[in-house]
Chain A
């Protein structure tokens, strides 16, 4: 059963601490997205990668957020230092670039982050 996995599922931390969220895309998918979901803003695209290269990270606060893909099976989103306004659910999604399927994004279960 191919699915996107994310760890941790829940994270509670104190302001100023570093937070790292991890995502394993579906095997064979070469495009990975990071989204943030809040009640006020809905689903916001933070960054996305294709073939491990960043294509767009304009939605991400550059001073504290960073996203990487160390290899094809792992994507990370790091916040340093974290702030209470970062509290949200962070989703990873993956997609293939096969013609006709290239926009179908498959979402993971999310990481619920609470920054106190």
Chain B
């Protein structure tokens, strides 16, 4: 089955700096890669996703890049703000084949220092 590794497990950045979280996956058939943000006491919230037919996707201050050859994808947050502090999870899945399972990484706790 799919295995997703996520690094780093914790990340501290100064407000205004950029943050990068990296994930690798094992199943070359996976074609859907979402990122979730989980704030304390809440459920994970989808913030951005990418499908394997594109290499990069941006949404305001966040962007995700995908390298299918190397089987890794990354989340980039620019101009970080204190409200970006949360745990971020990457995941991988095979979309469109009747399979709906997401395999999650272990999470990265991001702290943005004012």
Chain A contact residues, CB within 8 Å of chain B:
4, 31, 33, 42-43, 45, 48, 50, 55-56, 91, 93, 95, 99, 102-110
Contacts and interface: CB of A to CB of B under 8 A. Distances in A.
Nearest to B32: A103
Contact of A103 (B34, B41, B89, B105): B34
User: Which of A33, A42, A50 has most B Cβ within 10 Å?
Assistant: A42
A59 to B, nearest CB: 9
Contacts of A48: 100-101
B46 A105 contact: yes
B100 A50 contact: yes
A107 B106 contact: no
Given A33-B100, A103-B95, 16 more contacts: A42-B89, A42-B106, A43-B89, A43-B104, A56-B101, A91-B43, A91-B44, A99-B96, A103-B93, A103-B100, A103-B102, A104-B34, A105-B34, A107-B43, A107-B44, A108-B43
A111 to B, nearest CB: 10
B42 A109 contact: yes
Interface in B16-58: 32, 34, 36, 41-46, 49
A95 B49 CA distance: 15
Contacts, number: 51
Nearest to A6: B43
Which 9 A-B pairs have CB atoms at the shortest separation, nearest pair first?
A107-B43, A43-B104, A103-B32, A42-B106, A103-B95, A107-B44, A103-B93, A109-B43, A110-B43
A29 to B, nearest CB: 11
Nearest to A102: B95
Contacts of B34: 103-105
Nearest to B97: A102
Contacts of A45: 101-102
A102 B43 contact: no
A50 B99 CA distance: 10
A91 B104 CA distance: 14
- Of B45, B100, B107, the most chain A CB neighbours within 10 A belong to B100
